[in-house]
Amino acid sequence: MIENRLIIIDTTLRDGEQSAGVAFSHKEKMTIAKKLDGLGVDIIEAGIPVMGKSEQKVIYEMLSANLQADILTWNRMCIKDIEATLVTGATHAHISVPVSDIQIRHKLRTTRTELITAYKKVLEFARSHELEVSIGAEDASRADEAFLAHIYTIAISYGVKRIRYADTLSVLDPFSAYERIQQLTKRLASHFNITPSVLSQTLGIDFHGHNDFGLGTANALGAFKAGARIISCSVNGLGERAGNTPLEEIVVALSHMEGSVTSIDMKKIMEVSKLVELYSGRTLQVSKPIVGDMVFSHEAGIHVDGLMKDRRNYTFLDPAILGREHLMVMGKHSGKLRENRFLN
């Protein structure tokens, strides 16, 4: 295993489509799935089979399309959800388990003990049908940490090799994200009497963040630095409320800041971003990091002069890696030097 290898789970077709007012057609979902595959996404979270036959049909079609990416279904902690996944022919199923006391008591209206009983039944059912299961702890960032670890250790005892830490309500900041993942890794390693480094060879930790405070990318960075080598994200950050960790931001940021290795073809990011923007109807700000129309534009004379002397003066992220270019704009702040260069 490459230590800095970043695995991308794209949830544009699941959490992304849960954005208010967003509903992809069958054809649009297939087109997005194929583009995500061409982009180099490792795992495509394709949808929620229990929603009905149309969702099951498009997931079945994705599975039949010979994509390189693994196709993952999303399921509640219910046997009927797993039965719906089996209808699609999927072999990879993600099961979401509410773990905070507030959700256990006030959403599920149950107790921790009753939840664990139901949880084990669903795990047994899924594993008995030879599904490759991943477990997601919903609202993990508001959960009791000992109970959270217990949920994960149960999953591991059933042969689960990937667990998700979901910051469902965007509670964390980059520092607490780092600390929570680090402490979780230590707690799990201690439970199995192994070192965190040995644990990382057999268990993948997936961080799923939201962007309510504009920290989706920063929190994912913190989680990655603490050992979460799998990041759940979406194109353009499309998702519930303020959205999810944007795929384009976390991939480029980790590549530049941490030297992470990824299968993503960065020169295809813009194409996929524009496609999702079109299909979702969610227009991007021109200043949207990485993919905004104006993020490599320059008007200030000092900056333009510096760029023209040597691009490194005002470039850390080279737009060329995205297949883009710097854009020089003449305006109020251009200054005499810049105006002369435009006009001469």
pTM for the model stands at 0.94
Q: What band does 335 get if pLDDT is binned at 50, 70 and 90?
A: low
Residues 6, 96: Cα–Cα separation, whole Å: 22
pLDDT digits (tens, 9 = 90+) for 225-274: 999 999 999 999 999 999 999 999 999 999 999 999 999 999 999 999 99
Q: What mean pLDDT is predicted for residues 143-149?
A: 98
**Do 268 and 39 meet the contact criterion of CB atoms below 8 Å apart?**
yes
Of 191, 244, 250, residue with least CA distance to 220: 250
Sign of the CA dihedral running 69, 70, 71, 75: negative
Dihedral (C-alpha) 94, 95, 100, 101: value to the nearest 10 degrees? 180
Indicate the range of 17-31, 54-68, 128-142, 328-342 predicted with least confidence: 328-342
Predicted pLDDT of residue 310: 66
Q: Give the residue ranges of DSSP H helices in 107-243.
A: 112-128, 145-157, 174-191, 196-202, 216-225
Distance of alpha carbon 48 from alpha carbon 80, whole angstroms: 12
The per-residue pLDDT for range 22-44, each reduced to its tens digit, is: 999 999 999 999 999 999 999 99
Pair of tokens at residue 329: 């704009």
**Residues of the chain above pLDDT 90, percent:** 86
Kindly tell me if the per-residue pLDDT of 334 is higher than 50: yes
Whole-number Å distance between alpha carbons of 34 and 18:
20
Instruction: Of 24, 183, 13, give the one whose Cα is nearest residue 94.
Output: 13
Q: Give 264-315 pLDDT, tens digit per residue.
A: 999 999 999 999 999 999 999 999 999 999 888 766 666 676 667 867 766 7
The reported pLDDT for the residue numbered 309 is: 80
Confidence (pLDDT) at 299: 64
Strands (E) located in the chain: 7-10, 43-47, 70-76, 92-98, 132-138, 162-167, 204-209, 230-233, 297-298, 327-328
Cα distance from N-terminal residue to C-terminal residue, the chain: 55
For residue 320, give every residue at least 6 positions away whose Cβ sits within 8 Å of its Cβ, in sequence order, or none: none
For 164-179, give the secondary structure using H, E and C: EEEECCCCCCHHHHHH
pLDDT in tens, 173-223: 999 999 999 999 999 999 999 999 999 999 999 999 999 999 999 999 999
- Structural contact between residues 4 and 261, judged by C-beta atoms closer than 8 angstroms: yes
Domains and CATH numbers, the chain: 7-280 (3.20.20.70), 297-343 (no CATH)
The torsion angles phi and psi of 79, rounded to 5 degrees, stand at -65, -35
**What one-letter code names the amino acid at 235?**
V
Instruction: Check whether 48 has a pLDDT greater than 90.
Output: yes
Contact of 101 with 143, CB cutoff 8 Å: yes
Judge contact between 231 and 223, C-beta under 8 A: yes
**What average pLDDT does this structure show over 85-111?**
99
Q: Report pLDDT for 344.
A: 45
Q: What is the DSSP letter of 244?
A: B
Over the chain, what is the mean pLDDT? Answer: 94
